């Protein structure tokens, strides 16, 4: 192996190590539905959240992921974007999306949306 290739291999390894360390920095501890005291509807909403939202939003950690943390979403008068944190406005964001967030109008049934909203209120 030439020195240049060895250096490249080292750099690639370093990049992977950095990514792994960053990922490990913000682990989201996973509690059971029972530990969280979720009702059956809220637990259903959590399944929807896991499938549709969790890749971009932490529910319990206050750290941002690809989008802002949704921890305490309805506990404050305004969302981080300055829009009032109420059912109507949050539903709008979910259905229509935002600049860097996909719209879910075509992807969620009314039941899934209702369950998801019930869950979001527990955060």
CB of 86 to ligand HEC, least distance (A): 11
36 scored as a contact of ligand HEC (CB under 6 A): no
CB of 79 to ligand HEC, least distance (A): 3
CA distances from 3 to 9, 16, 71, 95 (A): 10, 20, 48, 54
d(CA 68, CA 101): 11
Please identify, among the stretches 8-16, 19-27, 32-40, 50-58, the one whose residues bind ligand HEC according to the rule CB under 6 A.
Answer: 50-58
86 scored as a contact of ligand HEC (CB under 6 A): no
Classify residue 121 by its DSSP letter.
T
Pick between residue 58 and residue 104 the one whose CB is nearest to ligand HEC: 104
93 scored as a contact of ligand HEC (CB under 6 A): yes
Which among 60, 31, 49, 34 is positioned nearest to 118, based on CA atoms? 49
d(CA 62, CA 96): 24
Under the rule (CB under 6 A), what is the footprint of ligand HEC? 52-53, 55-57, 66-68, 70, 73, 79-81, 90, 93-94, 98-102, 104
């Amino acid at each position: 192996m030439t020195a240049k290739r060895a250096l490249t291999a080292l750099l690639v390894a370093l990049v992977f190590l950095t990514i792994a360390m960053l990922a490990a920095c913000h682990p989201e501890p996973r509690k059971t539905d029972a530990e969280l005291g979720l009702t059956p509807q809220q637990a259903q909403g959590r399944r929807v959240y896991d499938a549709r939202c969790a890749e971009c939003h932490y529910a319990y950690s206050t750290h941002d992921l690809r989008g802002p943390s949704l921890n305490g979403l309805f506990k404050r008068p305004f969302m981080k974007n300055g829009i009032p944190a109420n059912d109507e406005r949050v539903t709008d964001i979910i259905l229509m999306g935002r600049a860097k967030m996909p719209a879910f109008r075509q992807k969620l049934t009314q039941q899934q949306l209702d369950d998801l909203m019930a869950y979001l209120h527990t955060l």
